[in-house]
Structure 1
Amino acid sequence: MTATVRPPTTAPAPAATGGELTGTGNLLRLFLRLSRRQIAIWALAFLALVALSVVALEETYPDAAALQARAVLLESPAAVMMTGPAFALEDYTFGAMIANELSLWLLLPAAIMSVLLAVRHTRAEEESGRLELLRSLPVGRYAPAVAAMLTVALADVAVGAATTAGLVITGMPAADSLALGLATALTGLVFGAVAAVTAQVTEHARTASGLALGALAAAFLVRGVGDVIERTGSWLSWLSPLAWAQQTRVFVDLRWWPLALSAGTTLVLLLLAASLARRRDLGAGLRAARPGPAQASRALLAPAGLARRLVSGTFVAWAVAMFLFALAFGALASSLDDVIADIPAMGEWIELDLDDLTRSFAAVILSFLALCPAALAVSGVLRLRAEEREGRLEGVLASGSSRTGVLGRWALVVAVESALVQVLLGIGAGLGVSAGTGEVAWVGELTAASLAYLPAVLLLGGVAVALVGLAPRLASLAWVPVVWAALVVFLGELLGLPSWARDLSPLTHTPLVPGAALTAGPLAVMTVLALGLAAAGLLGLHRRDVGTA
């Protein structure tokens, strides 16, 4: 009997990794696929914002006299804080107005978009465990981070191109339009790189986003204070990346070199993020999270306590920022008396009563500010949907809480905190108008008037509750009424929207108090609708499976 001896089998050699950037292209395609809709929406929003703003401003300020009257507003420190450095006030041109007053409101959303995208594709992937799964494939150490930042860069290129296109198609000079588009893209990249750094510091995506957005808020404050010190920009202004873009002085005295600061800072921050990444383990942060108590408090174990824990931080941060905005915005009320006679078209932009201009403008301020608590209400409700999608809601239900109890208490917490934010904004606007006019009574009057907007805020939040309960796949559509309400508030009059289109916004049915008489009928109807939508959402969640897509 003979035995057959087989040659020893050799295990196949592992595939060559090809270096620390292996798989970057594949990951880039994956990230772009995941974020393609968001990027497209951001780009289209920038295109519409720029084009509609230019058209609106051209109709509102049709001649040199109106423009020069507008320049008077920039004598106010509050206006400078909310816009940017004031160039060419002696001979105020339309281009100067775009540079001075529109640029900041392009830079801020570009920065926010970049922060959210950067954290989503870096720290959020680690926190969820998906990055560890990707790293088990032939993927280099730095490939995910590089792919994430390339995704952010392409998104910034898209919004920069949309900004340039929006300016060019409305007749603005091509070179300056290109410079503003490039400045918008580079500013977004700077704060995307900031987010790449904060993603190395903490284990949690929300904390990383909060730190990066906190850096953006600090940049806004530094730039604002610096420009108040010197209206064309002081030494303090140059410490803010927002100022670098604005100091290109587009449409006034174009200069490209400040953009080199944005590009250089982005490169330094990305190198810093790469260096910090070498010093930590996958899934960990440089700053270890503090362990919580061994046992949760009774309040935290309840659904309402969990809701407060998860949404209150966002509410507080936005409440503080918007309170300062309301304070500055309110201070402008006393400045309008000097310019309204020179700008007859302003009445087509915002609804003003020339017989009581301050009171009318204060009412318009409140309608603008009401969008913030409305957006926070929708965001707070959708956070519960995010908890369900991640599988954590099932754990809450396993503790003995009912589905309707969880959603009902969650919605109640969001409603109460939204109401508190609305009242705080009324106080801020009142303090601002009081500071401008010297009449303390404005504080109480505008605080009381702010309560009139609560039914509209609750109705928009009720839409989110209904979608979460009845159609969870469509829950993100709760943002559509908020966006439409913002469009109607800011541009409804100027764009000549038909009455039926404006009536789709709950804010349209809110009386412009204190400038108009308070009518209880529309407010009662909106309150009933909000309660009805919330009830429908509770019933829907009770009947459907938790965790359904």
Structure 2
Amino acid sequence: MPETLAGTGTLLRLGLRRDRWLLPGWVLGFAVVAYSTARAGAELYPDVRSRVEAADALNATASMVAMFGRIYDPASLGALSLIKYTAFMTAILAVLMAVLVIRHTRADEESGRLELLGGGRLGRDAPLAAALIIALTGSLGVGLLTAAGLAAGGLPAEGSLAFGMGWAATGLAFSAVAGVAAQLTAGARAANGFSVGMIAVTYGLRAVGDLAEPGPSFLSWLSPIGWNQQIRAFAGDHWWVLVLPVLLSAVLIPAAFALRARRDLGAGLRAERPGPAVGSVSGVWALAVRLQYKVWLAWAIAFVVFGVVVGSLIGNVAEMLSSANAQDLIRLLGGAAALRDAFLAAEISIMGLLAAAYAVSAANHLRAEESAGHAEALLATTATRARWASSHFGFALAGSAVLMVLAGVSIGIGAALTVQDPALVGRSTVAALAQIPAAWVLAGLALAVFGWLPRLAAGVWVLLLAFVALGEFGVLWNAPGWLMDASPFRHSPLLPVTADAVPAMAWLTAVAVALAVLGYAGWRRRDVAA
């Protein structure tokens, strides 16, 4: 083994031990979701006619194609049942693998863990090699178990394997992207932001490319997520497309190692600009804003752009009126009676989930600051525990709320310009405001976990994703009502928002307040942990 890879095995064992619960949970979760969907799809679409009607309705609606992609074989049960998985869930898998690689590389450098381990026999390239091996293992695990789950659910074995290998190859490709991002940036948050940004760009390229008639344009072929769709599992099984993500990985992984050789430990190839000689931050509130505003600004820009784009798609909803199955599908996604309101409700609900993700990320900054030792230094001054915690928690609450206001206004503007109805701006904004309490519940949950079980802070993400899965696929899985009701998003009012929505919003806000009080109580009682 080259000297630069010395200690890779040790770091690999350490990384697998650190992820002994998280990684197997993710792998099993993806497989179980796929199995459940395969079983539910057979019940929802028992014959070829019902499949063709549903598939044709989806393919005829630009908004659905942009969100989920095309169905290339309308008669295929697998292609129809897994339409959400070829793009949407693939993007989630890509985020998981990117975060996993950065967790074991840049985040460990930032915390000083790798510098401490470097006191032993540890090669320069060992952390990156170990992280990529873990990501590859996880991607293959997801792919193989998913293939087994789909086959067990009654779908053809060859298509099941093609679908699973598509997930595995895409996970590997975005692991390589994260490996490069970890070398370019000087912090874990920046590396995560770069990786997630690349995933968002590729998802957008796929969405625009898939809208081309009669099939994908060259833009879809510029996206690794688009490649996963063009494997066309259960619709021809184009195995050769798997070569594309493998080739991308073969280019990016050596590039990541080459870039690692050109930088110092703890530094990035893109140097950070020095700050002013005299600081201007006065108090923990100003510090929280300084630490978080750039990330929030990036989220805000994405919300506005995405909102205008999806709002402008409302003009295509009328194409669904000729198909009763299509109307049922849109109502299932949006939950409202009117077709146009159902479409806007579905889009605003997605934005609400994203705002909740931001709220969790911002609230979990408390744990990041504590782990880095910054909290202990600040609490040694006149700053109190409650005031310091409130600075980041308050930013999470306010930030998620403003994001939803931007989402509502931008979606309304896009829709109003398309159908010449200015009233849609106000309606969509009110509907977006109704999503805020659910995001606050997740922020309160993050604070409660930080206060009592800080080592489980990452578990809030698992719970958020469970809520997302219940909302997207709970009906398909025939999930019990009590389980569906456990998600705060289940109680968020949808269009049209009336006075009847006030009690639900009040209850969600009360739950968020109770969780926050619980979190403050735990934070006041426990010691500051490293």
Structure 1 residue 436: deviation in Å?
Answer: 5.9
Give the AA of the match of 1:305: A
Structure 1 partner of 2:272: 289
- Change in Cα spacing, 1:28 to 1:308, as seen in structure 2 (3 Å) is same
Contact 1:360–1:515 under 8 Å retained in 2: no
Partners of 1:293 and 1:22 lie apart in 2 by 40
Partners of 1:519 and 1:240 lie apart in 2 by 40
Contact 2:447–2:516 under 8 Å retained in 1: yes
Pairing partner for 2:257 from 260, 266, 274: 274
Structure 1 residue 296: deviation in Å?
Answer: 2.3
- Change in Cα spacing, 1:79 to 1:353, as seen in structure 2 (3 Å) is closer
**Partner SS for 2:436:** helix
Structure 2 partner of 1:11: none
Structure 2 partner of 1:76: 61
Partners of 2:437 and 2:15 lie apart in 1 by 39
Structure 1 partner of 2:94: 111
Give the AA of the match of 2:131: A
- Change in Cα spacing, 1:443 to 1:106, as seen in structure 2 (3 Å) is same
Partners of 1:236 and 1:455 lie apart in 2 by 38
Summarize the alignment of residues 406-425 of structure 1 with structure 2, pairs less than 5 Å apart.
Answer: 406-425=388-407
Partners of 1:361 and 1:230 lie apart in 2 by 22
**Partner SS for 2:57:** helix
Q: Deviations 1:278-323 (Å, cap 9, x if unpaired)?
A: 222233222222111122223xx42222222333344343444455
Relative to structure 2, which stretch is displaced further, 230-239 or 315-324? 315-324
Structure 1 partner of 2:3: 19
- Change in Cα spacing, 1:255 to 1:540, as seen in structure 2 (3 Å) is closer
Structure 2 partner of 1:4: none
User: Is 2:442 the counterpart of 1:460?
Assistant: yes
Relative to structure 2, which stretch is displaced further, 58-67 or 42-51? 58-67
- Change in Cα spacing, 1:85 to 1:33, as seen in structure 2 (3 Å) is same
Structure 2 partner of 1:387: 369
User: Is 2:286 the counterpart of 1:305?
Assistant: yes
Report % sequence identity: 38
- Change in Cα spacing, 1:480 to 1:278, as seen in structure 2 (3 Å) is closer
- Change in Cα spacing, 1:540 to 1:121, as seen in structure 2 (3 Å) is closer
Summarize the alignment of residues 77-476 of structure 1 with structure 2, pairs less than 5 Å apart.
Answer: 77-88=62-73, 91-98=74-81, 101-298=84-281, 301-327=282-308, 329-330=310-311, 331=313, 334-335=317-318, 337-342=320-325, 346=329, 349-350=332-333, 352=335, 354=337, 356-434=338-416, 437-476=419-458
Structure 1 residue 479: deviation in Å?
Answer: 4.1
Give the AA of the match of 1:80: V
User: Is 2:489 the counterpart of 1:504?
Assistant: no
Partners of 2:188 and 2:309 lie apart in 1 by 32
Give the AA of the match of 2:58: L
Contact 2:330–2:342 under 8 Å retained in 1: no
Partners of 1:519 and 1:235 lie apart in 2 by 45
Q: Deviations 1:29-80 (Å, cap 9, x if unpaired)?
A: 1111122222112112211322233344444444334333332332333333
How many residues align structurally? 527
Partners of 1:244 and 1:480 lie apart in 2 by 27
Relative to structure 2, which stretch is displaced further, 102-111 or 302-311? 302-311
Give the AA of the match of 1:304: W
Structure 1 residue 225: deviation in Å?
Answer: 2.5
Structure 1 residue 193: deviation in Å?
Answer: 1.0
Structure 1 partner of 2:471: 489
Contact 1:21–1:142 under 8 Å retained in 2: yes
Structure 1: any 5+ residue segments left out of the alignment?
A: 1-16
Which protein shows a greater Rg? 1
- Change in Cα spacing, 1:171 to 1:322, as seen in structure 2 (3 Å) is farther
Give the AA of the match of 1:74: N
Give the AA of the match of 2:26: W
